[in-house]
Amino acid sequence: MSSPRLSPPAALAGPDFLWGVATASFQIEGAWATDGRLPCIWGTFCNTPGKILNGDTGEFACDHYHRYAQDVDLMAELGVDAYRLSTAWGRVMDEQGKPNHKGLDFYKRLLDRLQEKGIQRWVTLYHWDLPQYLEDRGGWLNRDTAYRFAEYADLMSRELAGRVDGWMTLNEPWCSAFLGYGNGHHAPGKANIAYVRPAMHHLLLGHGLALPALKANDPGAKRGIVANVGRGTSDSAAPEDQDAAMLYEVQHNNWVLDPLLKGHYPKALERLWPESRPLVLEGDMATISQPMDFLGINYYFRTNVRSDGKDGFVDTPLADVERTQMGWEVHPQGLQDLLVGFKAQYGDKLPPIYITENGMASDDAVGADGQVHDTQRISFLNRHFEALAGAKAKGVDIRGYFCWSLMDNFEWAFGYERRFGLVHVDYETQKRTPKDSALQLKEFLAARG
């Protein structure tokens, strides 16, 4: 049987649809103590025994800090329209809030090379690598961190003005709040459900406080945020289990999107986490719900749930379904269902959407022929492209797609075992090998004209 071919549908092949790849600073840069970069919570987490699979760390990662030019050339060779990257907060300013010009100059060189190659530059300000000194003051449990984030956004948008096509304030605040402070799976490793709603409120407040600076300092760039969303369903028709599926989506999706697009938190959070209440001051929700130019959506999987017998849900994984190396169920229809649902829920408040992450991990290796045959990834991508086309056909304004990820990298608590890249990375030699998915994406983009 022949291998699948990457074949995005015609609805995504037009000249106005943006095709990109994405990465994050801590996952690829390495050089975590170079040129004045300050320690961050993920460095601390890596150095805590038992937190990262195989004891891996992000100290070297993909050495992108030193190999950025090669990596930009690789993107140009693939023919992508855009690159979504993140900047490391601790690399660009010190504890007193003063700029670190060596760190800033790195990002300026990177962005300038992207411009030379005709690649749009989409920059995420916060992809989870909070400076450790701020965590020592309480991190996202401390309201002051939101104001420090606004200062960081002000500095970056002044320093990089004219070099950025789209600014994203936060990446996946759900992960920062819940995985970082609720269950401890991510840095800083706090595990107290009472922390989750205060942490989220301060994250979203930081987003809102940053928007005016981004607009004032770099008016030619778009401004938005990136939310990870998940489809929640139940294989049981029992009312309590259908209610559990609703609660899953409330905590995973509406917890972030309702305050941004409606100006209030969903009431059902009181059922889920009555012990976790944020201090919301007058004016906070107006700050959080300021208009944005776009909404970034990250989608990976569907979760099957049932009632926990109380006001909550429990994961009940389905048998005999396709899964990725992460153990996540492959469910492209969930992406279409969510996007169409968001259009129905938020109406005119829903800004244009970019899929800012979508992809899968697989146990990829370079074969005897020198190539990487990632057939499952190609099939995965094709089916998600069809889901996007289906959502567009139902009137959802989707402007672009960024594949996660450009290359294999440090996959947070899973270290280097899980490979999400279109490009294979040999971590011993740092050799980059485009996988079949990358080569076929190149063919599609070239044929698109």
Task: Give the pLDDT band of residue 426 (cuts 50, 70, 90).
Answer: very high
pLDDT tens-place string over residues 247-286: 999 999 999 999 999 999 999 999 999 999 999 999 999 9
106 within a domain of the structure (yes/no): yes
CA dihedral of residues 326, 329, 333, 336 (deg, nearest 10):
-40
Task: Give the pLDDT band of residue 368 (cuts 50, 70, 90).
Answer: very high
Q: What's the pTM? A: 0.98
As given in the structure block, the two tokens for residue 70 are 């090669």
Domain residues for the domain of 48 are 10-448
As given in the structure block, the two tokens for residue 313 are 């849900």
| Active-site residue, 357 included | yes
pLDDT tens-place string over residues 283-303: 999 999 999 999 999 999 999
pLDDT at 42 over 70: yes
Q: How far apart are CA 22 and CA 83, in angstroms?
A: 6
386 within a domain of the structure (yes/no): yes
Which of the residues 249, 329, 357, 386 is marked catalytic?
357
4 within a domain of the structure (yes/no): no
pLDDT at 2 over 80: no
Please tell me the total count of domains within the chain. 1
Of 433 and 4, the structure prediction assigns the larger pLDDT to: 433
**Average pLDDT of the chain?**
97
- Quote the crossing angle between the two packed helices 196-217 and 144-159, to the nearest 10°: 30
103 within a domain of the structure (yes/no): yes
* Residue with the two structure tokens 């009181």: 270
Percent of the chain with pLDDT over 70: 99
116 within a domain of the structure (yes/no): yes
pLDDT at 1 over 60: no
pLDDT at 3: 75
418 within a domain of the structure (yes/no): yes
Q: How far apart are CA 248 and CA 232, in angstroms?
A: 6
399 within a domain of the structure (yes/no): yes
Instruction: List the CATH number of the domain containing 183.
Output: 3.20.20.80
392-404: average pLDDT: 98
pLDDT tens-place string over residues 178-189: 999 999 999 999
What does DSSP assign to residue 412? G
133-153: average pLDDT: 98
Task: Give the pLDDT band of residue 4 (cuts 50, 70, 90).
Answer: confident
Greatest Cα pair distance, the chain, in angstroms, is 63
394 within a domain of the structure (yes/no): yes
pLDDT tens-place string over residues 87-105: 999 999 999 999 999 999 9
Percent of the chain with pLDDT over 90: 99
